Structure 1
Amino acid sequence: MKKPMIQFEHFGFKYRSQAEPTLKDINLTIYEGEKVLIAGPSGSGKSTLAHCINGLVPASYKGSMEGSLHIGGKNAEKENIFSLSQLVGTVLQDPDGQFIGLTVGEDIAFTLENDQVTREEMNTRVEEAARLTEVDGKLASSVHELSGGQKQRVAIAGVLVNDVDILLFDEPLASLDPATGKEVIDLIDRLQKQTKKTIVMVEHRLEDVLFRHVDRIIVVNEGTIVADMTPDELLASNVLEAAYLREPLYVKAMKYAGIPVAPGDQIADLQRLTLDDEEKMKIEQWMEASEPSVEQIAAQDLLEVRELSFDYPTRPNTLSNISFTVKKGEMISIAGANGAGKTTLSKVLCAFEKPTKGSILLNGDDITGDTIKQRSERIGVVMQNPNQMISKQMIFDEVALGLVLRGVKEDEIKERVERVLKVCGLYPFRNWPVSALSFGQKKRVTIASILVLEPEILILDEPTAGQDFKHYTEMMTFLEQLNQQGVTIFMITHDMHLMLEYTTRTIVISDGEKIADDTPAKVLTDQLLVQKASLKETSLYELALKADWPNPNELVDRFIEVDRKERMTWL
């Protein structure tokens, strides 16, 4: 019989500042050597559950507990955070937040130095952890010179070196491009098989995690466990939909096509999935019911980028001869690997950086030499983390700030701010402090603070990062409405689903060069392009191949058509 490693029994937790408990009557046992995924919408309690496992609750997040929690057989309430760290190693979603050493080797060795481990043993353990995570060739490198995927590997090595029994991953895919995300999931799988450690992942990108086998999926909603199932059992149920979590696209497409999904069908493993003749026929009939596409009215050219190049002093050819034209009212995604040049392109477009070569035209006017202030009145940018943009305490003041700095009259400020707050659904909260808002609402405040300047183009960096499916859909529906009102939108994103479902065009950047400019469906069904740009083929492409459908693009387009209508029913 397997040894219980994590045991919650009638467990509850209420933060000191809250009136109601965040976790209620949790009963959960995770056994030695299991690999478990914890999923749930924002505010469901899944992060609090993770913080209970690694001891941050109640060490850092104060509150009252009831029931019992045992980690590795020890009563967690009676243990301090140091003793729990000897049992549970936590890898944060942002690895930069847990780096201490200047080099990879120093960072991995940090806890061993604190424990006064001998030099000989330290070298042996560091080398072994680095070998397991495949960073043994980087021990002398600076951690800040590494790619996103390499940083994740170093962070994992830093907890492996302590030989902990449990590895806890807090949204390991949050800041990674799709291809690197696959590599990290593959690494976690191999570590679990080689070390037999207990693995707990907190992640809402379910389809990406299921790239490799998971023993169980725990779904948390409104502070309670609503499901504890194998992946096959969960995908055959309606639990994910009820909790506003995204099902894998290929599973959703099968359901739309009327293909019954049963727990014994082994549908969680896309590679092993097979379709019989009847199921292929259902997909064919579903495809034939597709509505004819509406022909788009040609719009006027708005932005023209001509042979744009940019060099950082330490990194030449960050951007090389990039050219494209954007029409008024387009919604475009910019995709590519971490470090490909996507964010640099946005900085040049916003005049945060001056191009080394090339020109930028807006409505036919050459704006290449604009100051940041001049450019900000025509092209606005919204950063990924709203907290990095907000500088005022009150919502109204934050949205009004740009107008105040430009010397706009008070009456006009009030009129423009209130109009934009209504568009952004924030008018009822206009006199609230920003601190009282959710992450998604803060994101809307930052968008409102840019929209009030009436830019013609809006650039958003990862607009849906870290948001569950419901908030993701609300945010994207809001952006669609802005787009329909004439705002041209760029979105820098790693989210292949977002590209497919909301944008009509994708510009792909790789090593500073534009390597594609096409529809998202064509981009994500081009195997060579996907590989070169560190993207990930959509699972709808795989489903099309298994259904013997001759043109995978058509199946992708059909899914988008049906799914958009379906989502509108619960917004």
Structure 2
Amino acid sequence: MSDMITFENFTFKYSSLSKPTLKNINLVIKRGEKVLIAGPSGSGKSTLGHCLNGLIPSAYKGSIEGKLTVDGVEPHTKSIFDLSSHVGTVLQDQDGQFVGLTVGEDVAFIDENKNISQEEMRTHVREALGLVDMADQEGKSPHELSGGQKQSISLAGIMMNDASVLLFDEPLANLDPASGKKAMELISDIHKKTNRTIVVIEHRIEDVLEAEFDRVVIVNEGEIVANGAPEELLVRDDFRKNGLREPLYIEALKYAGIDLEKEADKGIYRLGEKDISVLKRWTASVEEKRKDEKEPLLKIEDLTFSYNQGEKILSGVNLHISKGEIVALLGNNGAGKSTLSKAITGIVKGEGRIFLNNTPIDKWSIRKRGEKIGYVMQNPNHMLTQETLLEEVEFGLKIRKIKNSRERAEKALSTCGLHRYRNWPISALSYGQKKRLSIAAILSLDPEILILDEPTAGQDHKHYLEFMEFIKEIAAEGVGILLITHDMHLALEYADRAVVLSKGEVIADREVSSILGDRDIMERANLKETSLSTLAEKSGICPVDLMNTFINYDHIGEVEHG
């Protein structure tokens, strides 16, 4: 195969920074290869992607040393428009990518630029939307859609592009697990049918590696630190060593003391009878950690909501959160999770009753509820209004005339791993850093209930662990936590309980391991089983038992996270 992408001693430094973000990159990607570029937040992986698609230097200015060629051209010498015929991109932040007033117009954009006939264009749009199950959304505005639906529209749009290289920047960021699996299957299908060169930038290792990749390139601190087949990097601990989360089944096998050098393939390990016996003994060896009952804090009774007397978005929802309890709210895109959080905070008004500390809050204003209930939105761009990080976190404290606002703001920034950037302009942050900043601004206000909509989206494993450990500390002080999440790992490891929504109704409310081991509930809610479930089934072990063992073993501290 000929070379499609070549970095030769390539270095890039942003104009606003004193040190290079990419340092002496040497990398060759062959024509038709499918490559995953992974790395923790701030590693330089997104910057590398911006060099490929021409956003550097068109949108992000800086100095370049060395050489980069993509499909025979040097990206930094071409306009974004000219380069788009060589590199098609799906951005992590879809809101900045939409150009059409409707879904159909947006997907048709590339055909319009090619002067394709309207009849042929409509056929192409219907085919592309059909492939991502979005045909019924053609007439809607992209901005009316959920995060997962927006991602699907972006995937449909890129399929209209005949570029030689397709670049996906964190394609799983806003997708529920089952939709994420489908997105990866779709990307794989595009690769097989077109043999285009595929580059995926992603840090959700378990989910992304369910698809096959020719190679994985790990970037850390601006340098390539690993480059090889996925199974080689898993066995060598390259992901963990560089701040990335290994697949759960890999962690479980290590916890059980099984040698990973043997019988590895690209999916679940094919264990021999001896290793299965080891896994079964380990599963039986860890006692379940008992959870104490906690005082109720928030109660929702028979909550129903619909827009303009239309179809019910929420129907008879009952939910409670106790003091110090972490509850995961699970469900597919469009299940009603975000609407439920808006009803709790008063952004929308539904029928039913909501109590805080046994006091009805149905008639409370949004402002009054906001003094007790903190809500961190899924998209951080909808929350950030100030120039610098420190000003953003201080803003809410100052308008409430809270003393020691500077001290509290700096503490919140430290907790979220952002203190060293406190005087940076917010515009210079990555999406993941913006997410942490929006969380820091809410945490500084000391709420009684904290609602986090996809709190770990865009965060690497190191910051994920730091943040979730902080959330545990907050919960230990009596704050009730509601985690709206697609991350089954997060729910399994940190939530005391999970509530599952499907079509606006609660279909399950119990321990997370019990839910993830219930195939009927998982299918109804469009959730994806974790690799622990698959490992258990292949090994003849009850999935709930293996998951509980994993959780309890992890929580009692016998193994430290790396």
Q: With structure 1 as the length reference, what TM-score do the two structures score?
A: 0.90
Alignment partner of 1:32 is 2:26: no
The answer (yes or no) to whether the contact 1:332–1:491 under 8 Å persists in 2 is yes
Q: How does 1:75-86 map to 2 (within 5 A)?
A: 75-86=74-85
Q: What is the match of residue 303 of structure 2?
A: 308
Counterpart of 1:296, as a letter, is: K
* Cα distance between partner residues in 1 of 2:25 and 2:560: 32
Larger Rg: 1
Q: Identify which range, 129-138 or 60-69, moves more after superposition.
A: 129-138
The answer (yes or no) to whether the contact 2:219–2:225 under 8 Å persists in 1 is yes
The answer (yes or no) to whether the contact 1:505–1:520 under 8 Å persists in 2 is yes
Structure 2 counterpart SS, 1:82 = helix
Q: What is the match of residue 498 of structure 1?
A: 490
- CA RMSD between the two structures: 2.9
Alignment partner of 1:109 is 2:103: no
2:513 to 521, 532, 538: 521
Distance 1:77 1:287, change over 3 A: same
Q: What is the match of residue 352 of structure 1?
A: 347
The answer (yes or no) to whether the contact 2:53–2:75 under 8 Å persists in 1 is no
Structure 1 counterpart SS, 2:299 = strand
Distance 1:566 1:14, change over 3 A: farther
Q: Identify which range, 451-460 or 79-88, moves more after superposition.
A: 451-460
Q: What is the match of residue 61 of structure 1?
A: 60
The answer (yes or no) to whether the contact 1:421–1:448 under 8 Å persists in 2 is no
Distance 1:48 1:423, change over 3 A: closer
Q: What is the match of residue 407 of structure 2?
A: 418
**Any unmatched runs of 5+ in structure 2?**
none
Alignment partner of 1:321 is 2:316: yes
Q: What is the match of residue 558 of structure 1?
A: 549
Alignment partner of 1:280 is 2:257: no
* Cα distance between partner residues in 2 of 1:453 and 1:139: 41
Q: What is the match of residue 380 of structure 1?
A: 374
Distance 1:156 1:281, change over 3 A: same
The answer (yes or no) to whether the contact 1:37–1:202 under 8 Å persists in 2 is yes
**Partner deviation per Cα, 1:402-421 (whole Å, 9 max, x = no partner):** 45545x5xxxx324763575
* Cα distance between partner residues in 2 of 1:146 and 1:447: 23
* Cα distance between partner residues in 2 of 1:221 and 1:18: 17
The answer (yes or no) to whether the contact 1:132–1:191 under 8 Å persists in 2 is no
Q: How does 1:176-187 map to 2 (within 5 A)?
A: 176-187=175-186
**Partner deviation per Cα, 1:453-480 (whole Å, 9 max, x = no partner):** 5432111111111001111111111111
Distance 1:304 1:554, change over 3 A: same
* Cα distance between partner residues in 2 of 1:370 and 1:135: 38
Counterpart of 2:170, as a letter, is: E
The answer (yes or no) to whether the contact 2:15–2:63 under 8 Å persists in 1 is yes
Counterpart of 1:246, as a letter, is: R
Alignment partner of 1:435 is 2:425: yes
**Partner deviation per Cα, 1:259-316 (whole Å, 9 max, x = no partner):** 1112x7343223xx422111011112322331x3343332222222111111211643
Counterpart of 2:295, as a letter, is: Q
* Cα distance between partner residues in 2 of 1:314 and 1:307: 17
Distance 1:341 1:121, change over 3 A: closer
Q: Deviation of residue 103 (structure 1)?
A: 3.7
Q: What is the match of residue 464 of structure 2?
A: 472
1:336 to 331, 336, 342: 331
Q: What is the match of residue 4 of structure 2?
A: 5
Counterpart of 2:273, as a letter, is: D
* Cα distance between partner residues in 2 of 1:130 and 1:453: 43
Distance 1:458 1:143, change over 3 A: closer
1:463 to 438, 455, 458: 455
Counterpart of 1:330, as a letter, is: E
Structure 2 counterpart SS, 1:173 = coil
Distance 1:101 1:382, change over 3 A: closer
* Cα distance between partner residues in 1 of 2:391 and 2:51: 38
**Partner deviation per Cα, 1:424-461 (whole Å, 9 max, x = no partner):** 64699599546379667765654454455543211111
Q: What is the match of residue 162 of structure 1?
A: 161
Distance 1:347 1:78, change over 3 A: closer
Identity %: 48
* Cα distance between partner residues in 2 of 1:211 and 1:58: 34
Counterpart of 1:278, as a letter, is: K
Q: What is the count of residue pairs matched by the alignment?
A: 559
Structure 2 counterpart SS, 1:83 = helix
Q: How does 1:164-243 map to 2 (within 5 A)?
A: 164-243=163-242
Distance 1:454 1:74, change over 3 A: closer
Q: With structure 2 as the length reference, what TM-score do the two structures score?
A: 0.91
Q: Deviation of residue 485 (structure 1)?
A: 1.5
Structure 1 counterpart SS, 2:403 = helix
Q: What is the match of residue 540 of structure 1?
A: 532
* Cα distance between partner residues in 2 of 1:85 and 1:204: 25
Distance 1:171 1:453, change over 3 A: closer
Distance 1:502 1:64, change over 3 A: same
Distance 1:366 1:152, change over 3 A: closer
Q: Identify which range, 515-524 or 14-23, moves more after superposition.
A: 14-23
Distance 1:553 1:453, change over 3 A: same
